[in-house]
Amino acid sequence: MFLRFPPILSLAFCASFVFLGLLSAQQSELARGGWDEIPEEELQATAPRIDPDAHSEYTYRKITVDDREMFYSAHRFHNRIKLFDEAAVEEWDKVDIEYFEGMRVTRIKARVIYPDLTVAELSPRDVVKRKIFKNDSFSGYAKSFSFPGLKPGCIIEYSWKTSIDAWFKGVTLDLLSDHPTWHYEVLIKPYRGLASSVRSFNGGSKWEKVPGGYETFAKNLPARAEVPYVGPRRDFEPFVLVDYSSELKALEQEKYWNYRAGRLDKVNDELIKAKASRVKKLASELFEGVGLNEEKVQKAFDYCTNEILNISVPNTVYTEEEIEELKKNDTPNQTLKNGYGTSFDINSLFASLLAAGGFQVSLAEVEDRSTCTYHVGKLGNFNLSDWAVAVLVNNSYEYYDPGSSFLPLGVLNAENTGAKGILIKGKFYRDVETPEVAAEFSKVSRIADVRIDEYGDLEGSVAIKYDGYEGVAIKRAFAGQTDDERESFVLEKHWQSRLPRAEIDDFRIKHEDSREEGLILRYSVKIPGYADVAGDRLILNPSIFQKGAPPVFSDETREVPIGFPHRPLVMDKVTIEVPEGFSYEASAGTSDEFEGAMVKRKSLVTINDANELVYQRHYTLKGTRADARYYPLVKAEFDAMNEADHRPLTFVAGSEILTSSVQ
């Protein structure tokens, strides 16, 4: 619950000649509990300063980056927001502090300051942990809470600490947020064991040296473009970088990549080549009697993913606060001894086991295509920011990531496929590119057998199999949930978001914990009033998995590039038993085939031997990226697909049976 305090001093007693003095006293009181004083201009503001159409704006944001520890970085955030109208109240009804694998969020404080200067503070038990979704896919986690009794004129304020697992030192901070910002302050406390460099990209601010670190200020920042399926944001949005080296000259253009290669070689020496006795012993046990290289890789992969607790992802063994206190692993030997590790620790152990088994192995730095496009002129850890394990198997390099949850053997996260990278081979570094993944890998097979009655009500059974990245995303969403929570998730995300009256029952799930097998869901579905009744006719959309879905792109124009996470292949088959005495009358072009520059879609409607309607739909993406100048073309293709997904069929009451084809 929020703890509410009375007004600090009633303004009704303030005469005009003492108003400023009393307001100053009130501000001092507002600073209690470790909070800063709030400037008068924020208290008195009644309209947005930066964007006239904004409903709320950040009046103050601050991040303090404490990078002094070797194996992790601590980021402390402080946000303050002014709400200007009722729409702002809706915007801030719930606050999500987002984070991802390898991060932990702790020390949350929050309060709301009402227009009469009454204050309500957050109680720790009001914070809940949940999973978040963007573009209908699982994207990470959030610590969430709500402010009570919000109204226009309120100021809300909250702070927290995010701890980030990091082997290499270096910090990348994005400057833009979801709302305009009046004032943004960044303080960096760098690691002292190395020379450090602080730089701004895409229009960042100048830095000043201060005791213990660096500081910069930014003012009047616009809001980040919140549109669906955005391409790599660090290609065009402002951000700041803290980078390290043994000497600053190594961070200059002509020496930088030799420095990165040398750093990577040193990590390989420390974590892979220097094989401890515990690792050697385990490798000997795992590979004893195993002849094929592929089998050895599988055994090492299975051990690292099944026997070592991954503390970079939420688990039921330790809370995030307890993980903060765990002893950090600085070698694979310690990871093996402790039985837990970060994603990087697990990848390092996997690499070390294979090296002990005689494989040529290198940790590889690879591109994250979702955040930044690789270019040799981009100097910093944001360029090639992710990790993979490169193993020479039968004379060719294969890439693995056992430290990421639910990825099958030999599969990287989608953002790391078809990506640039570097690895160490012998005494030299080598530029590489990870393999592309075909759309068939992320196949979704959706099958429905349903009945429609004369009142338009639908009921029947559904079976769906999610392979590849489609399955990984839902498995990550399901992780830690009960079966009831999973059923609610499917109902809300997959059905009621489109068809509010939908119900599901008899929910069953298979392979939810498997890395190798596709996720399978089975359940019954019931949708009252699915088909429209018009006299003696039923008007029916056979695409039950798409009906009610809004267009993918709604804005008429766009200034930022388009980027999809991967290429899916969606295959639907819907068998519909129509009411007795009804026959097919007309179609609005439900059978259709379309292929554009990015979208490929085909649908076909037929009548089977049991006199049932059979609707089949195939959809895939031909590419994952498009520049903003091609947005009208891309939008037109997705609009055409959405329109085709909503073309109805008409059935009329009568004695004729259904024909064998539908046009």
4-36 per-position pLDDT tens digit:
544 443 333 233 333 333 344 455 556 666 788
Residue 223 CB neighbour total at 10 angstroms: 17
Question: Higher pLDDT residue, 82 or 428?
Answer: 82
Kindly tell me if the per-residue pLDDT of 654 is higher than 80.
Answer: no
Q: Given this model, what pLDDT does residue 626 score? A: 96
Q: Which whole-number Å values give the CA distances from 589 to 173, 241, 552, 663, in the listed order?
A: 50, 54, 21, 6
Residue at token pair 């002094």? 68
Which of the four pLDDT bands, split at 50, 70 and 90, describes residue 313?
A: confident
Is CATH 2.60.40.3140 correct for 3-245? yes
Q: Cα separation of 570 and 605, whole Å? A: 17
Is the torsion defined by CA of 241, 49, 96, 63 positive or negative?
Answer: positive
Q: Given this model, what pLDDT does residue 244 score? A: 79
The beta-strand segments (E) located in 233-385 are 239-245, 309-310, 340-341, 361-366
Q: Given this model, what pLDDT does residue 21 score? A: 38
Question: Higher pLDDT residue, 257 or 273?
Answer: 257
Question: Higher pLDDT residue, 251 or 229?
Answer: 229
Kindly tell me if the per-residue pLDDT of 604 is higher than 90.
Answer: yes
Q: Is beta strand 119-121 parallel, antiparallel or unpaired with respect to 103-113?
A: antiparallel
φ, ψ (nearest 5 deg) of residue 140: 155, -155
Q: Write the DSSP string, 568-601.
A: -EEEEEEEEEPPTTEEEEEESS-SEEEE-SSEEE
Residue at token pair 């196949």? 443
Cβ–Cβ < 8 Å for 515, 408: yes
Kindly tell me if the per-residue pLDDT of 355 is higher than 60.
Answer: yes
Residue 378 CB neighbour total at 10 angstroms: 16
Burial (Cβ within 10 Å: 0-12, 13-18, ≥19) of residue 553 = buried
Q: Quote the pTM value.
A: 0.85
pLDDT mean over 396-402: 96
Which of the four pLDDT bands, split at 50, 70 and 90, describes residue 72?
A: confident
Question: Higher pLDDT residue, 586 or 92?
Answer: 92
Kindly tell me if the per-residue pLDDT of 645 is higher than 90.
Answer: yes
Q: Given this model, what pLDDT does residue 291 score? A: 83
Residue 418 CB neighbour total at 10 angstroms: 15
Q: Cα separation of 261 and 393, whole Å? A: 22
Q: Given this model, what pLDDT does residue 241 score? A: 86
The amino acid that residue 233 corresponds to is: R
Residue 492 CB neighbour total at 10 angstroms: 11
Q: Cα separation of 84 and 55, whole Å? A: 6
Share of the chain above pLDDT 90, in %: 64
Q: Given this model, what pLDDT does residue 373 score? A: 93
Which of the four pLDDT bands, split at 50, 70 and 90, describes residue 248?
A: low
Which of the four pLDDT bands, split at 50, 70 and 90, describes residue 381?
A: confident
The CATH 3.10.620.30 portion of the chain extends over 252-433
The CATH 2.60.120.1130 portion of the chain extends over 439-653
pLDDT mean over 598-610: 92
Cβ–Cβ < 8 Å for 592, 662: no
Kindly tell me if the per-residue pLDDT of 362 is higher than 80.
Answer: yes
Residue 241: which of 166, 194, 190 has the closest Cα?
190
The secondary structure of 122-190, three-state, reads: CCHHHCEEEEEEECCEEEEEEEEECCCCCCCCCEEEEEEEEEEECCCCCEEEECCCCCCEEEEEEEEEC
Q: Given this model, what pLDDT does residue 475 score? A: 94
Give the tens place of pLDDT for each residue, 35-62: 888 999 999 999 999 999 999 999 999 9
Which of the four pLDDT bands, split at 50, 70 and 90, describes residue 631?
A: very high
Cβ–Cβ < 8 Å for 345, 366: no
Kindly tell me if the per-residue pLDDT of 243 is higher than 90.
Answer: no
Is CATH 2.60.120.1130 correct for 439-653? yes
Is the torsion defined by CA of 273, 277, 279, 283 positive or negative?
Answer: positive
Q: Given this model, what pLDDT does residue 4 score? A: 52
Q: Given this model, what pLDDT does residue 207 score? A: 86
The CATH 2.60.40.3140 portion of the chain extends over 3-245
**Range with the poorest average pLDDT among 103-107, 165-169, 456-460:** 165-169
Question: Higher pLDDT residue, 22 or 587?
Answer: 587
Give the tens place of pLDDT for each residue, 197-219: 888 888 867 888 899 889 999 99
Question: Higher pLDDT residue, 34 or 233?
Answer: 233
CATH architecture of the domain with range 252-433: Roll (3.10)
Kindly tell me if the per-residue pLDDT of 158 is higher than 70.
Answer: yes
Cβ–Cβ < 8 Å for 352, 272: yes
Which of the four pLDDT bands, split at 50, 70 and 90, describes residue 357?
A: very high
The average confidence (pLDDT) of the chain is 88
Kindly tell me if the per-residue pLDDT of 511 is higher than 70.
Answer: yes
The secondary structure of 291-333, three-state, reads: CCHHHHHHHHHHHHHHCCEECCCCCCCCCHHHHHHCCCCCCHH
Question: Higher pLDDT residue, 286 or 321?
Answer: 286
